[in-house]
């Protein structure tokens, strides 16, 4: 599924925050306006609007988000839809936008990912998110942090990694976020900070987990005029019930989506210069890097310890801070990962977190605990 | 936006009902299984799953519906997403499915529209639906029945139509549903029944309004092997706030989506043999028929009175009973309209409601009160 000629002509990203008075539509409109401005394109040149969002109707009590956003942006008589794929809603919206262009039905598509998670209480949003796992698992009280805790425990035991090495994922991603102006947490944390933070799901602690976030990110996709090419986008579901998977450390959807994306882009893990992976929990960064073929099974933890995934390492991972420190406004994340890659490929980031000479980037956006994944490859 | 070679290879439609013990996933899986069987295609031949649904996360408390459905159907490692466009979610999912095929990225796509509206109380689902209008209008208490009542009042006064003529839309659609085995209401109603039914929003009464429904409909789209061609699918938003529209009787989104669809299909209203329009309220059938160019402004009511839109008339409209009598499970409706057209084009309906010799059909699926519309043309 090579995308033919689909390029990214402009990007926008609101600050990701832990609280805001802005509405869902305000946030989305701000990112979209910035992306259109960056692309130097007027709204009336846009053929379709693809909005990635998870919680509009539950947490935000807003239906018809795509129509409200089209109206706020003054996009008259545009084609507009919302795409929902839980925490991979953003990249799924990109997938649909890319397809719209490669089918010849849109010349220019606007993709906006947005989430406003703090408009209701924490219990309500937590419950809404918990319902994305298999129904039986939800009924048994199995939530995403629980799955991540079980996976972390299994990984550390099976592969002889120590708890400190896992903390180093958070330490790295927090460090990367310091100079990212849109990141939610721009402070460094030390290994001890992670290990001393409150326990969430053993062995994972608070600083192993992404936060609740608000924010939006946007891309202008175009059939030819952008400076970054989308050379692949591919999606795959995994076995829905985690309990039915062959191995709790496998994230089949990431493996399959990754393989499809590498095949479409005609490249291999070795030719990727920078990667944004879905580190909703520190352990996921390792599992995904292994499933994508960047590291052999059971060895990604050593790469973290050895600094290979740092900005100046062999494979910089999450140079924007990842979900961990940039924040994770669910539907916005998959788009924000691509915004970060575009900034890196343009060299348009501060030197402390710049991946020098990056020409090819990969992002993986994961729904739930590997229930569905979308992998995208960008090149300049 | 001609669709190139996209065909419908199979269809499925569960009974539409006012109550059921089936879950959202059960309903969707049943329609999908029937469509795959009708197409004589195994699930492993399907490349992508596009689920149209509005209320999963609010009324049904279910997130990640597309992943749950892929799992229930045993579609392994498939690409799956949910498309939400309020009451036009079904046709919007079709639009994305068609695009996936015409881009060359899918050979076979499964589109499922589904809604389960009765799992919570009426007040909760009514509130969720009410939130699809402009935020300010919601705050002022303007709901879809209110807009429809205002439009009906304006239409009757402006064009000299009488209240009985409007009731005849419901009478016709109920009559058409009698022999439709999946319809929610299979009883005829008389003009007096409509006029004696409880007042909802003057002048509209209960029998002018579609019901709350549960059900699912599915299509298998294929690049070549189907017996019905999708010759056009086009979408457009309208002015979001009804109060800001030039004329309360205009449904701009239907007009624009219709024009785009006619242009893409290379045909005109006169060449359409059968139409399924979005009669969520009786008045909408007239407004949409006029916006689509089937009748001049202010004359569709006469066509109803003269029997032109009856099954044996010059332009049979809603031969399956429409939203009025077939039922309106929101996300399912846009897909069910196309299932009905496929049945008509195949001649696969009982004689009392068959449009003899139909070769070309049109459907329009409307989000909200014209906030977004999708128009599709099928040919055999």
Written as six digits, the tokens of B53 are 């649904």
What was the pLDDT predicted at B377?
A: 98
How do beta strands A214-222 and A360-367 pair?
Answer: unpaired
The tens digit of pLDDT for each residue in B68-79 reads: 999 999 999 999
Helix (H) or strand (E) holding B31: helix B24-39
Query: For the residues A135-160, what does the mean pLDDT come to?
Result: 95
CB contact under 8 A, B67 and A368: yes
Tell me how far apart the alpha carbons of residues B16 and B326 are, in angstroms, rounded to a whole number.
7
CA distance A78 to chain B (A): 5
Contact between B279 and B210 (Cβ < 8 Å): yes
Query: For the residues A248-271, what does the mean pLDDT come to?
Result: 97
The tens digit of pLDDT for each residue in A74-123 reads: 999 999 999 999 999 999 999 999 999 998 888 999 999 999 999 888 89
Q: Torsion over CA of A100, B289, B287 and B281, rounded to 10 degrees?
A: -90
CB contact under 8 A, B92 and A81: yes
Over 80: is that where the pLDDT of B208 sits?
A: yes
Measured between CA atoms, the residue of chain A closest to residue B92 is A81
Query: For the residues A263-284, what does the mean pLDDT come to?
Result: 98
- CA Rg, chain A, in Å? 19
Q: Kindly indicate the confidence band of residue A242, based on its pLDDT and cuts at 50, 70 and 90.
A: very high
Query: Residue B5 CB: number of other CB atoms within 10 A?
Result: 13
CB contact under 8 A, A68 and B253: no
Q: Sign of dihedral through CA atoms B121, B122, B123, B127?
A: positive
Tell me how far apart the alpha carbons of residues A109 and A123 are, in angstroms, rounded to a whole number.
36
Query: Residue A351 CB: number of other CB atoms within 10 A?
Result: 9
Nearest to A99 by CA among B37, B103, B279, B296: B103
Q: What is the DSSP letter of A87?
A: B
ipTM greater than 0.90: yes
Written as six digits, the tokens of B258 are 């219709």
Instruction: State whether residue A37 is helix, strand or coil.
Output: helix
Helix (H) or strand (E) holding B199: strand B199-201
What was the pLDDT predicted at A222?
A: 95
Over 60: is that where the pLDDT of A2 sits?
A: no
List CB contacts (< 8 A) between B137 and chain A.
Answer: none
The residue ranges of DSSP E strands in A18-107, in sequence order, are 48-52, 79-84
List CB contacts (< 8 A) between B55 and chain A.
Answer: 57
Tell me how far apart the alpha carbons of residues B48 and B66 are, in angstroms, rounded to a whole number.
10
> Furthest-apart CA pair in chain B: how many Å?
58
List CB contacts (< 8 A) between B68 and chain A.
Answer: 134-135, 240
**Of A57 and A105, the one with more pLDDT:** A57
How do beta strands A214-222 and A228-237 pair?
Answer: unpaired
How many helices (H) and strands (E) in chain A?
13, 11
Q: Is B266 exposed, middle or buried (0-12, 13-18, 19+ CB in 10 A)?
A: exposed
Interface probe with A: pick from B59, B84, B134, B374, most Cβ of A within 10 Å: B84
Q: Which class is B6-122+212-223 in CATH? A: alpha beta
The tens digit of pLDDT for each residue in B79-104 reads: 999 999 999 999 999 999 999 999 88
Nearest to B235 by CA among B360, B363, B372: B372
Contact between B281 and B145 (Cβ < 8 Å): yes
Contact between B163 and B195 (Cβ < 8 Å): yes
Supply the DSSP string of B91-107, one letter for each residue.
HHHHHHHHHHHHTTS-S
Measured between CA atoms, the residue of chain A closest to residue B256 is A77
Query: Residue B225 CB: number of other CB atoms within 10 A?
Result: 15
Over 50: is that where the pLDDT of B22 sits?
A: yes
What was the pLDDT predicted at A4?
A: 61
The tens digit of pLDDT for each residue in B313-345 reads: 999 999 999 999 999 999 999 999 999 999 999
What was the pLDDT predicted at A20?
A: 87
Q: What are phi and psi of A365, to 5 degrees?
A: -115, 125
Tell me how far apart the alpha carbons of residues B363 and B345 are, in angstroms, rounded to a whole number.
13
CB contact under 8 A, A96 and B92: no
- Do you find a cis peptide bond into B203, omega within 30 degrees of 0? yes
Contact between B261 and B47 (Cβ < 8 Å): no
**Of B206 and B248, the one with more pLDDT:** B206
What was the pLDDT predicted at B162?
A: 96
Q: Kindly indicate the confidence band of residue A3, based on its pLDDT and cuts at 50, 70 and 90.
A: low
Contact between A88 and B91 (Cβ < 8 Å): no
Tell me how far apart the alpha carbons of residues B35 and B42 are, in angstroms, rounded to a whole number.
10
What was the pLDDT predicted at B40?
A: 96
Over 90: is that where the pLDDT of A275 sits?
A: yes
The alpha carbon of A193 is separated from its chain's Cα centroid by a whole number of angstroms, namely: 25
Over 50: is that where the pLDDT of B207 sits?
A: yes
CB pairs under 8 A between A and B: 193
Half-sphere exposure of B55 (CA within 13 A, CB side): 28
Tell me how far apart the alpha carbons of residues A306 and A309 are, in angstroms, rounded to a whole number.
8
Q: What is the DSSP letter of A96?
A: H
Distance in angstroms between the alpha carbons of the first and the last residue of chain B? 19
List CB contacts (< 8 A) between A76 and chain B.
Answer: 237, 239
Question: Shortest CB distance from B367 goes to which of A64, A99, A104?
Answer: A64
Q: What is the DSSP letter of A189?
A: -
Written as six digits, the tokens of A158 are 């099976």
What was the pLDDT predicted at A121?
A: 86
Measured between CA atoms, the residue of chain A closest to residue B372 is A67
How far are the Cα atoms of A25, A173, B216 from residue B15, in angstroms, in the given order? 37, 52, 8
Question: Shortest CB distance from A372 goes to which of B80, B131, B241?
Answer: B80
The residue ranges of DSSP E strands in B260-341, in sequence order, are 274-276
What was the pLDDT predicted at A106?
A: 86
CA distance B133 to chain A (A): 8
Tell me how far apart the alpha carbons of residues A22 and A28 are, in angstroms, rounded to a whole number.
10
How far are the Cα atoms of A308, B126, B142 from residue B123, in angstroms, in the given order? 56, 5, 15
Instruction: State whether residue B204 is helix, strand or coil.
Output: strand
A195-200, long-range: CB within 8 Å, 24+ apart, which pairs? A195/A163, A195/A164, A195/A167, A200/A145, A200/A149
Mean pLDDT of chain B: 96
Question: Shortest CB distance from A84 goes to which of B82, B100, B235?
Answer: B82
Domain ranges of chain B: 6-122+212-223
The residue ranges of DSSP E strands in chain A, in sequence order, are 7-13, 48-52, 79-84, 108-116, 199-201, 204-205, 214-222, 228-237, 274-276, 360-367, 372-379
Instruction: State whether residue A43 is helix, strand or coil.
Output: helix
Q: Kindly indicate the confidence band of residue A1, based on its pLDDT and cuts at 50, 70 and 90.
A: very low
Over 60: is that where the pLDDT of A244 sits?
A: yes
How far are the Cα atoms of A54, B7, B8, B10, B108 from residue B39, in angstroms, in the given order? 32, 11, 8, 4, 11
Interface probe with A: pick from B53, B64, B78, most Cβ of A within 10 Å: B64
| DSSP bridge partners of B11 | B219
Written as six digits, the tokens of B185 are 């209401």
Nearest to B260 by CA among B287, B235, B229, B286: B235
What was the pLDDT predicted at B3?
A: 55
Q: Torsion over CA of B132, B23, A114 and A264, rounded to 10 degrees?
A: -130
CB contact under 8 A, A82 and B85: yes
Measured between CA atoms, the residue of chain A closest to residue B66 is A85
What was the pLDDT predicted at B1?
A: 42
Question: Shortest CB distance from A61 goes to which of B105, B131, B371?
Answer: B131
| DSSP bridge partners of B220 | B10, B110
Tell me how far apart the alpha carbons of residues A226 and B34 are, in angstroms, rounded to a whole number.
43
CA distance A235 to chain B (A): 5
What was the pLDDT predicted at A5?
A: 86
Distance in angstroms between the alpha carbons of the first and the last residue of chain A? 19
Tell me how far apart the alpha carbons of residues A339 and A359 are, in angstroms, rounded to a whole number.
14
Over 60: is that where the pLDDT of B217 sits?
A: yes
Mean pLDDT of chain A: 96
Over 50: is that where the pLDDT of A293 sits?
A: yes
Q: Is B144 exposed, middle or buried (0-12, 13-18, 19+ CB in 10 A)?
A: buried
A209: left (phi over 0), alpha (psi -120 to 50) or beta: beta
The tens digit of pLDDT for each residue in A173-194 reads: 999 999 999 999 999 999 999 9
Nearest to B286 by CA among B312, B324, B320: B324
């Amino acid at each position: 599924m090579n995308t033919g000629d689909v390029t990214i002509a402009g990007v926008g990203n609101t600050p990701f925050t832990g609280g805001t008075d802005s509405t869902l539509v305000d946030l989305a409109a701000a990112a979209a306006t910035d992306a259109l401005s960056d692309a130097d394109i007027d709204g009336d040149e846009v053929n379709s609007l693809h909005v990635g969002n998870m919680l509009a109707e539950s947490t935000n009590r807003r239906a018809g988000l795509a129509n409200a956003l089209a109206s706020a942006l003054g996009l008259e008589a545009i084609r507009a839809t919302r795409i929902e794929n839980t925490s991979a809603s953003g990249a799924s919206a990109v997938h649909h936008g890319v397809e719209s262009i490669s089918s010849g039905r849109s010349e220019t598509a606007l993709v906006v990912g947005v989430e406003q998670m703090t408009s209701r209480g924490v219990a309500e949003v937590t419950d809404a998110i918990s319902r994305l796992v298999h129904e039986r698992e939800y009924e048994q009280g199995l939530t995403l942090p629980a799955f991540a805790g079980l996976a972390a425990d299994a990984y550390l035991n099976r592969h002889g990694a120590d708890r400190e090495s896992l903390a180093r994922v958070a330490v790295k991603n927090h460090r990367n976020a310091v100079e990212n102006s849109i990141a939610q947490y721009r402070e460094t944390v030390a290994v001890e900070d992670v290990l001393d933070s409150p326990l969430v799901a053993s062995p994972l602690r608070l600083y192993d987990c992404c936060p609740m976030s608000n924010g939006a990110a946007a891309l202008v996709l175009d059939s030819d005029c952008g400076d970054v090419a989308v050379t692949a986008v591919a999606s795959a579901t995994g076995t829905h019930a985690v309990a039915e998977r062959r191995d709790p450390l496998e994230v089949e959807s990431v493996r399959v989506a990754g393989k499809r994306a590498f095949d479409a882009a005609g490249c291999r893990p070795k030719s990727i210069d920078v990667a944004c992976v879905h580190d909703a929990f520190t352990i996921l960064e390792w599992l995904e890097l292994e499933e994508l073929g960047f590291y052999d099974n059971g060895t990604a933890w050593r790469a973290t310890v050895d600094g290979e995934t740092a900005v100046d390492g062999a494979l910089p991972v999450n140079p924007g801070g990842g979900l961990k420190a940039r924040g994770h406004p669910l539907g916005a994340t998959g788009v924000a990962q691509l915004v970060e890659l575009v900034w890196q490929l343009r060299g348009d980031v501060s030197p402390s977190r710049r991946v020098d000479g990056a020409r090819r980037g990969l992002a993986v956006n994961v729904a739930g605990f590997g229930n569905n994944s979308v992998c995208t490859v960008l090149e300049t």
